Amino acid sequence: MSARPLLNRRLAGLGTTIFAEMSALATSTGSINLGQGFPDTDGPAEIARAAADAVLTGRGNQYPPGPGIPELRQAVAEHQQRFYGLDWDPDTEVLVTAGATEAIAAAMLALLEPGDEVIAFEPFYDSYAACIAMAGATRVPLTLRAPSFRPDLDELRALITPRTRLLLVNTPHNPTGLVLHAEELAEIARLAVEHDLLVVTDEVYEHLAFSGGHHPIAALPGMRERTVSISSAGKTFSFTGWKVGWVTAAPALVSAVRTAKQYLTYVSAGPFQYAVAEALRLPDSYFDTLRADLRRKRDLLADGLTAAGFGVFTPEGTYFITTDITPLGEKDGLEFCRSLPARCGVVAIPNVVFYDDTEAGRPLVRFTFCKQDAVLEEAVARLQRL
């Protein structure tokens, strides 16, 4: 074999995702997994039954249509109208994907040329860096800094260059829990219009904004034609293994993203698409209860982490809490997370892996609270022993 590395240079250094590493550590040590964000209780039984019925009655067992089944595209459009007053044509402005993950990948591969710059909030969700790299583009971080993690929009303005092609927005934001406020979104939108930039917005936690609500940037003046909005069923309906996601955007953008998407998976999750179409039509009480439950769990975990000595940054959204470990006399989040299972049987995620500015991320550690109360209480009891 030649000495040339097997992994191509764009992917060099990306290694195994932190979620896979930490979930494997939780399994091998029997620890409580507050690392990878997946609920330990499945979503609504009637939605699970809808998926089973679809399999048993032969709906979606063969390749579904490339853009997604019409029932789901219609349900996505209705959901966007119901919650945000946005009108999308289900035939030309909605695309079903294999989770938000594929939507992000397809958007980057479709919309970027080698040499383009993408400005994204740092810490970045891990697949952003990988997908920007696979597209041959360059990521330009706008660092969100503790304690508020609010973006500095003067800094954003200063980061825009003639090579900037796209702003990659994520609200509610993983891992900090930041929810962009209406004025921040308005300024981001204004900059996008002024500099003729595309915006890709990852809104998978759209129903987990605990105060002030979630505001889609696509609704702002001048944004409809330049925004690719991405969401998915995983977090909203507690079925993260189904991997049903979607894009809403103007026809030319959907068409570009679909061109890439059709050569990634072509299609996926046929029967689950029928079930998610039903889930999106659940009454408001479903979404309100999900949010209220997770808000309560947030407070339970935040209080426990505070009592255990962590510096706690209470999130406005998502199901993650970012903490500072320096009050515990610790400095290095990666080392801390690797030793935590042996020290007290809990797994967490070191935020540093989501940063280019590793100094900004080094002491930060993320815990998820999408777990049963008893599990959170046991985790907190264990963490008190630190």
> Alpha helices, DSSP H only, in 57-111?
70-84, 99-111
Instruction: Summarize the chain as % helix, strand, coil (round to 5).
Output: 45, 15, 40
Structure tokens of 26?
A: 């939780």
Rounded to whole angstroms, the Cα distance separating 289 from 311 reads: 28
Place of tokens 């339970």: 300
Smallest distance from the beta carbon of 264 to ligand GLN, in angstroms?
16
Residue 19 binds: one of ligand GLN, ligand PMP, none (C-beta under 5 to 8 A by kind): ligand GLN
Residue 229 binds: one of ligand PMP, ligand GLN, none (C-beta under 5 to 8 A by kind): none
Name 154's bridge partners: none
Q: Taking CB under 6 A as the rule, does residue 100 contact ligand PMP?
A: yes
Choosing from 39, 90, 99, 151, the residue that interacts with ligand PMP (CB under 6 A) is 99
Q: Taking CB under 6 A as the rule, does residue 101 contact ligand PMP?
A: yes
Structure tokens of 71?
A: 């029932």
| Nearest-CB residue for ligand PMP | 99
Output the CA–CA distances (angstroms, integers) from residue 152 to 115, 180, 188, 194, 213, in the order listed.
25, 12, 11, 18, 21
Write the CB contacts of 214 (distance below 8 Å, at least 6 apart in sequence): 171, 172, 179, 203, 205, 206, 207, 317
Choosing from 235, 261, 297, 298, the residue that interacts with ligand PMP (CB under 6 A) is 235
Smallest distance from the beta carbon of 88 to ligand GLN, in angstroms?
25
Give the x/- contact pattern for ligand GLN in 32-51, rule: CB under 6 A. ----xx--------------
Among residues 19 and 83, whose Cβ is nearest to ligand GLN?
Answer: 19
Residues 214-233 that bind ligand PMP (CB under 6 A): 232
Residue 36 binds: one of ligand PMP, ligand GLN, none (C-beta under 5 to 8 A by kind): ligand GLN
Choosing from 93, 116, 117, 202, the residue that interacts with ligand PMP (CB under 6 A) is 202
Rounded to whole angstroms, the Cα distance separating 251 from 73 reads: 14
H or E element that contains 321:
strand 320-324
Residues 48-107 that bind ligand GLN (CB under 6 A): none
Residue pair 366/311 in contact (Cβ under 8 Å)? The answer is no
Among residues 80 and 240, whose Cβ is nearest to ligand GLN?
Answer: 240
Smallest distance from the beta carbon of 17 to ligand GLN, in angstroms?
6
Rounded to whole angstroms, the Cα distance separating 173 from 325 reads: 20
- Contact positions vs ligand GLN (CB under 6 A): 17, 19, 36-37, 174
- Contact positions vs ligand PMP (CB under 6 A): 99-101, 125, 170, 174, 202, 204, 232, 234-235, 240, 243, 245
